[in-house]
Amino acid sequence: MAGSLREIQAKIASTKKTSQITGAMQMVSASKLTRSEQAAKDFQIYASKIRQITTDLLHSELINGSSNPMLDARPVRKTGYIVITSDKGLVGGYNSTILKAVLDMIKRDHDSEDEYAIISIGGTGSDFFKARNMNVAFELRGLEDQPSFEQVGKIISKAVGMYQNELFDELYVCYNHHVNSLSSEVRVEQMLPIADLDPNESEGHVLTKFELEPDRDTILDQLLPQYAESLIYGAIVDAKTAEHAAGMTAMQTATDNAKNVINDLTIQYNRARQAAITQELLKLLVVQVHLNRLEYLLLN
């Protein structure tokens, strides 16, 4: 029984240490989430401005049709997918949710590897696709907690360049959209060709009132790829925010589970200790009975 009590005590001590670690990790993830949410809000200011400028410049094309390759759909022979996952675990179902959705989508929409290419951001996704011998064209690992555009700019520019060079004919980004600290949702959004611009958002076609230097078409040739890149970067920031939220929730759940285990073990320990004490008392009582009987025999 003493050995059993020591084992329970050791389990309680070990679980307490685990709960302290998960509690600390929860607070770290919460701090990262706060910073990431602020970064996402700051980015939205930039995104809304570049969207406004792009919509104003393209007002007539959006109404009458365009011949710009960044806007026009073409026959789809190959599709590009940017898939965003985390580099590490301990984020609950964050990775499994998006990876299952992408895998099901590719199996449903494509008959062979020649019909798609994956650009993987995050080590978990890269390892997942490579283990299944799927077509991973490029990958980016070791993304910072608050990724800057400089860190992801190269792979984003590569993806846009592959579309411009017709290595694939449409580009989607697949990621977990941050809803709140407790939930996220899978999103698969078309990045190229650009299809989300609405001419009704144009503020009276303001930019046509100005002379543009060098000229409008040259500006669009530079602006449209940058606009597409900003959309992809925004998805990365959003996904990173969802990752931090998932990490915080997972660690909170782990901490709560550890506390429940400690409570159960404490109850188990108290019961075992009470049983041990009762057993010792019974032994003493038996000894006392024998002593009393021996004393009676000696006296008589």
Asked if 102 and 158 touch (Cβ cutoff 8 Å), the reply is: no
Q: Note the pLDDT of residue 128.
A: 96
pLDDT 10s digit of each residue in the chain, 300 long? 555 888 888 899 999 999 999 999 999 999 999 999 998 888 888 888 888 888 877 766 665 566 677 888 889 999 999 999 999 888 989 999 999 999 999 999 999 989 999 999 999 999 999 999 998 999 999 988 888 888 888 889 889 989 989 899 999 999 999 998 888 999 999 999 988 776 666 665 555 555 556 667 777 778 888 888 888 999 999 999 999 999 999 999 999 999 999 999 999 888 888 887 888 777 777 767 777 777 667 776
Q: Note the pLDDT of residue 89.
A: 86
Q: Note the pLDDT of residue 130.
A: 94
Q: Note the pLDDT of residue 285.
A: 76
Q: Note the pLDDT of residue 66.
A: 63
DSSP codes of every residue in the chain? -HHHHHHHHHHHHHHHHHHHHHHHHHHHHHHHHHHHHHHHHHHHHHHHHHHHHHHHHTHHHHHH----TTTS----S-EEEEEE--SSS-STTHHHHHHHHHHHHHHHH-SSGGGEEEEEESHHHHHHHHHTT--EEEEE----SS--HHHHHHHHHHHHHHHHTTSSSEEEEEEEEEEETTEEEEEEEEEES-----GGGSSSSGGGGS--SS-HHHHHHHHHHHHHHHHHHHHHHHHHHHHHHHHHHHHHHHHHHHHHHHHHHHHHHHHHHHHHHHHHHHHHHHHHHHHHHHHHHHH-
Q: Note the pLDDT of residue 181.
A: 83
**Dist CA 187 CA 174 (whole Å):** 6
